[in-house]
Amino acid sequence: MRILVTGGAGFIGSALVRHLICNTAHEVLNLDKLTYAGNLESLTSIADNSRYEFVQADIVDQSTVSTLLKRFQPHAIMHLAAESHVDRSIDGPSDFIQTNIVGTYSLLEAARAYWQGLAEPKKSAFRFHHISTDEVYGDLHGVYDLFTETTPYAPSSPYSASKAASDHLVRAWHRTYGLPVLLTNCSNNYGPYHFPEKLIPLVILNALAGKPLPVYGNGQQVRDWLFVDDHARALLKVVTEGAVGETYNIGGHNEQKNIEVVHAICSLLEELAPNNKPQGFARFADLITFVKDRPGHDLRYAIDAGKIERELGWVPEETFETGLRKTVQWYLDNRQWCRRVQDGSYQGERLGSTDIKDLLA
C-alpha cells in the first residue's frame, strides 16, 4: 500500500511512520506542517529509506494536498495532524480551531475529490482513517464506567471540542458523500520521542534536572495509558482490516492516577539513575509539587477496547509497568534528543524534506 500520513512528525505520527517503514512493505508519504510539536529527528532512523518521503505542508492548504494526492496516489490516508495540548488550547484556542476543524475539512474535501476520481477497484479499496482522542467523551464520574464507541460526546476543553468537531465532519462526509472512512479514539499515549510538555516526559526530565514535578490539583485524575507502539500497531490493524464507517476505541487497559504515574517514574529513576539524584533531596519524589488545577479538568478517562479486540484481534503488548520502564530508559539513553527539543535547536533541521515549490512547479 501507499499511505499518506498527516502529522507524521508528531509523537504518535512518528511512531506510526516508523512502524510502517520498519515492519511492513508499505510506502509512506509524511505530510507535516512542522509546528513546535513536529520533530524530524524522531524519524532519522528511517529518513533515508526508499519507501519514505517527507513533505512540509499544511493540511489547511487544500490545493497543495490535492497536488500531493494526485502525485502519490495513496491507497489510504491516515490523518493524525492536530494541535493536541489541552493547556495550549486553553491559552490560545485559535490554532486548534484552524488545524483541527478547518484543516480536517480541507483534507476531507481534497480526499473526496481524489477518491471520486479513482477507478475501480482502487475506489472501493480506498480508506480515510481519522485518528482522534477519548477526550471527546468528556469525563467519567463512576468508578467502573468505560467509554464505548457509542458514548455521547461531551468535550470539556477547546482541544477536545475541536477534535469532537473533526470527528463529526468525518462521519458527515461518510454519510453524505460516501467517503470510506474509519475513526479511532485513543486513550493517553506515552513512550519514546514524546514532546516534553506532556506529563510523563516532563516529569522525567524535570526530575533529572532537579526541577519541581508539577501535579495538577490533588493528582487524583485518572487516565488510561497506552504505549505508543501498541497504538501504532492498532492503527495499522484498523486501516487494513477495519469496517468502513466504524469507530474503534483504542486503550491500554492501564488506568492510573496522575500522582501514581509521577511516583512510578520517581521509583524507576531511583533504580535506573541513582547518580542523577538532585542535590539537597533524598528522593526524586521530594520534588513533587502540587499546583493549581487547570480549568475544566476532566477527572477520569477509561476506554473499553473490547470492540477492536473482538473484531480485529488487537490487544496491547505492553503493561503500564513494562511500557513505563522502556520509556524512562529511553529518555535516559537519549539525552541529546531531549536537549535539542528543550533548547529548540531541533526546529532548525529539515531532514529528508521535499520542497513543496518543486511539487507545484
The residues annotated as belonging to the active site are 134-135, 159
CA–CA separation, 297 vs 293, rounded Å? 7
Neighbours of 167 (CB within 10 A): 21
Which residue's entry shows cell 483541527?
100
* Grid coordinates given for 281: 533531596
Report residue 5 CA to chain centroid gap.
12
* Grid coordinates given for 192: 519514546
